[in-house]
Chains A and B, each alone.
Chain A
Amino acid sequence: MFAVRAAKRAPWAVVGEKIIEALVYFCGFSAIVFVLGIFVFVFKEALPIFAHEQFSLTEFLTSSDWYPTSESNKRYGVFAMIVGTASVTVLAMVIAVPFGLGAAIYLSEFCGQKTRETLKIVIELLAAVPSVVWGFIGLTVMSKLIVQYTGTPVGVNVLNGGLILALMSVPIIVSISEDALKAVPDSYREAAIALGVTRWQLVWRVLLPAAKQGLLAAVLLGVGRGVGETMAVLMATGHAVHIPHGVLDSVRTLTANIAAELGEAPAGSDHYRVLFLTGVLLFTLTFAVNLIADTIVRGIRRK
């Protein structure tokens, strides 16, 4: 009984603990360092463009004229691509969020053990499909279907990109939402059920409110995927610099533009720098999305 009080911990245990502590600190702070580092380097490449008097930030953000290789009159306006990114992402989310949440609710509350196991394996498989493969499907299968069913001449467009992105985000949304729903204590379920509510009322009135933070996180990760995805949308959206008037118009997204053109832009040229500035813009966009999300989540938490 007194042995516990008298016992001394071995010196290596004490030192080992200190080392692990330091390592953990390092891992935590390295995240900040990396993020700052990425921002600084991308920004540094873009910065000299501001020295040009022809270049105007307003024009960059609001003009749809993208002629980076024109001999006489180079113009760098990415507005059409901002709209392109936004339209594809919004369409993808309109499809993926209800679908993903619905699937998560079904998995966690309504289906049997066996069905759940099977479905989860399939969904994880879906999440493991590389984005080039998705792009490939968009380019070949999906575009044919779209041409066939809508009669539009080109099958690579906002609809195609949105569908492909939705398919890519659904597995993420499903698995994170399902975790969030599973994390709601069973005692809530039992308490609500004992009050005579139906299963659907249980989901609607108890589980969704209780899991809202996790669900929001799931949705935002989906949005993040939409804004940041490159390969698949490059292949599926048609790559036309053009403000879309409907889902059957082709668009180009910010990411796809960088991926497609950076290789051809001579290092240090204006074109090169503008592409980096587009990177900064993307970075700012995702940062803003995260910030908004964070504020919402924190607001919910306070309440």
Chain B
Amino acid sequence: MTAAENHIEVRDLRLSYGLKEVIHGISFGIRRHEILGVIGPAQSGKTSLLRCINRTIDFTPDTHVSGTIEVDGEDVRKVRSVYALRRKIGMVAPLPVGLPLSIYDNVAFAPRSAGLHRRADLDAIVEQCLRQAALWDEVKDRLESLGTKLSGGQQQRLTIARALSHQPEILCLDEFSIAIDPVTTMRIEDVLKELRKHMTIILVTNLTQQARRLADRTMFMWKGEIVELDTTEVIFGENPKDQRTRDYVEGIFG
């Protein structure tokens, strides 16, 4: 597969916070409609990588980024509208952040901000996204109550619904399951399998088995470098190329 066909193309990406470089020139591509699992121990730069892709890194003062990230062949640093870029990318944070709004308003937030105000359109989007996030049945009777009053797992699904509300082409999930129970996690995993048909998914996870279950390819990051990126079968199989990969997925690492 050539580079042009990749949905996201990262070339020699370097990132430093102040003087500390935390991503040391990584290059890789993400294919259209694949789930790319990203695994790696704490501090390896996974979250930082996601923040570079949707440019929320811009809001951390004193950061320096070099290299390029192309989404649909367009350099994210040179896009005409950074807001349009961010709407192209859905982002789910490790801990659910319910905005202090009603459930409905949480999901309708991005469409409204983008200028959509017809109630019927909003209703349709809210319902569709809540259904996609497997939350609709639980909240359909109380859409007007505060999003922050839901349980942790429900809130996480609400943030997923919200991330889907601007109809992104790329969905980034950053350790989405650390605050939720295994049953809900499984439900969301099923949702992700469904969503793969419509979008490219980057799944950052501390649960290596989660990557194994879901990812088409898996990338192992360590200390701001890519140790190995290959199909999930290879990474979790008998013969990954790097010894560290095997150690990490077998839990010997660190």
Q: Which residues of A contact B (CB under 8 A)?
A: 113, 185, 187-198, 201, 205-206, 209-210, 303
Residue contact B114 to A210, C-beta cutoff 8 Å: no
Residue contact B59 to A187, C-beta cutoff 8 Å: no
Residue contact A194 to B54, C-beta cutoff 8 Å: yes
CB distance from B10 to the nearest CB of A (A): 19
The 5 listed contacts between A and B (C-beta, < 8 Å) are A190-B56, A191-B159, A196-B86, A196-B113, A198-B113
Chain A interface helix/strand/loop/mixed: helix
CB distance from A182 to the nearest CB of B (A): 15
Q: Which of B83, B99, B114, B166 has the most CB of A within 10 A?
A: B99
Residue in A closest to B58 when the chains form the complex, CB atoms: A193
Residue contact B93 to A191, C-beta cutoff 8 Å: yes
Known: A113-B61, A198-B83, A210-B100. A193 touches B56 (CB 8 A): yes
Residue contact B100 to A209, C-beta cutoff 8 Å: yes
Known: A192-B109, A196-B113, A196-B166. A187 touches B87 (CB 8 A): no
Residue contact B87 to A188, C-beta cutoff 8 Å: no
Q: Chain B residues with Cβ under 8 A from A185's Cβ? A: 97
Q: Chain B residues with Cβ under 8 A from A303's Cβ? A: 146
In the complex, which residues 201-221 of chain B have their Cβ closer than 8 Å to any Cβ of chain A? none
Residue contact A194 to B101, C-beta cutoff 8 Å: no
Residue contact B113 to A187, C-beta cutoff 8 Å: no
Residue contact A206 to B99, C-beta cutoff 8 Å: yes
B110 CB-CB contact with A under 8 Å = yes
CA–CA, A238 to B114, complex, Å? Answer: 52
B91 CB-CB contact with A under 8 Å = yes
Residue in A closest to B112 when the chains form the complex, CB atoms: A205
Residue contact A190 to B162, C-beta cutoff 8 Å: no
In the complex, which residues 64-83 of chain B have their Cβ closer than 8 Å to any Cβ of chain A? 83
Residue contact A187 to B56, C-beta cutoff 8 Å: no
Residue contact A196 to B83, C-beta cutoff 8 Å: yes
Residue contact A196 to B99, C-beta cutoff 8 Å: no
Residue contact B110 to A190, C-beta cutoff 8 Å: no
B95 CB-CB contact with A under 8 Å = yes
7 closest Cβ pairs, A-B complex: A196-B87, A196-B86, A194-B91, A195-B110, A191-B97, A197-B113, A187-B97
CB distance from B238 to the nearest CB of A (A): 39
CA–CA, A196 to B110, complex, Å? Answer: 7
Q: Chain B residues with Cβ under 8 A from A191's Cβ? A: 93, 97, 99, 159
Q: Chain B residues with Cβ under 8 A from A192's Cβ? A: 99, 109
Residue in A closest to B105 when the chains form the complex, CB atoms: A205
Residue contact B59 to A190, C-beta cutoff 8 Å: yes
Known: A188-B99, A191-B93, A197-B83. A205 touches B109 (CB 8 A): yes
Known: A187-B93, A193-B56. A201 touches B86 (CB 8 A): no
B234 CB-CB contact with A under 8 Å = no
B179 CB-CB contact with A under 8 Å = no
CA–CA, A209 to B109, complex, Å? Answer: 13
CB distance from A298 to the nearest CB of B (A): 16
CA–CA, A195 to B114, complex, Å? Answer: 10
Q: Chain B residues with Cβ under 8 A from A194's Cβ? A: 54, 56, 86, 89, 91, 93, 163
Residue in B closest to A193 when the chains form the complex, CB atoms: B56
Residue contact A187 to B110, C-beta cutoff 8 Å: no
Known: A196-B83, A196-B84. A189 touches B114 (CB 8 A): no
Residue in B closest to A209 when the chains form the complex, CB atoms: B100
CA–CA, A197 to B165, complex, Å? Answer: 13
Q: Chain B residues with Cβ under 8 A from A197's Cβ? A: 83, 109-110, 113
Residue in A closest to B89 when the chains form the complex, CB atoms: A194
Residue contact A190 to B84, C-beta cutoff 8 Å: no
CA–CA, A153 to B254, complex, Å? Answer: 83
Residue in A closest to B109 when the chains form the complex, CB atoms: A195
CB distance from A200 to the nearest CB of B (A): 10
Q: Chain B residues with Cβ under 8 A from A209's Cβ? A: 100-101
CA–CA, A177 to B118, complex, Å? Answer: 33
Q: Chain A residues with Cβ under 8 A from B100's Cβ? A: 188, 206, 209-210
Q: Chain A residues with Cβ under 8 A from B109's Cβ? A: 192, 195, 197, 205
Q: Which of B56, B146, B159 has the most CB of A within 10 A?
A: B56
CA–CA, A183 to B162, complex, Å? Answer: 23
CA–CA, A207 to B171, complex, Å? Answer: 25
Q: Chain A residues with Cβ under 8 A from B112's Cβ? A: 205
With beta carbons under 8 angstroms apart, the residue of B59, B84, B86, B146 that contacts A195 is B86
Q: Chain B residues with Cβ under 8 A from A189's Cβ? A: 59
Residue contact A195 to B95, C-beta cutoff 8 Å: no
CA–CA, A118 to B73, complex, Å? Answer: 43
Residue contact A188 to B97, C-beta cutoff 8 Å: yes
Other 14 A-B pairs with CB < 8 A, given A113-B61, A194-B56, A195-B91: A188-B97, A188-B99, A190-B56, A190-B93, A193-B86, A194-B91, A194-B163, A195-B110, A195-B163, A196-B83, A196-B87, A205-B109, A205-B112, A209-B101
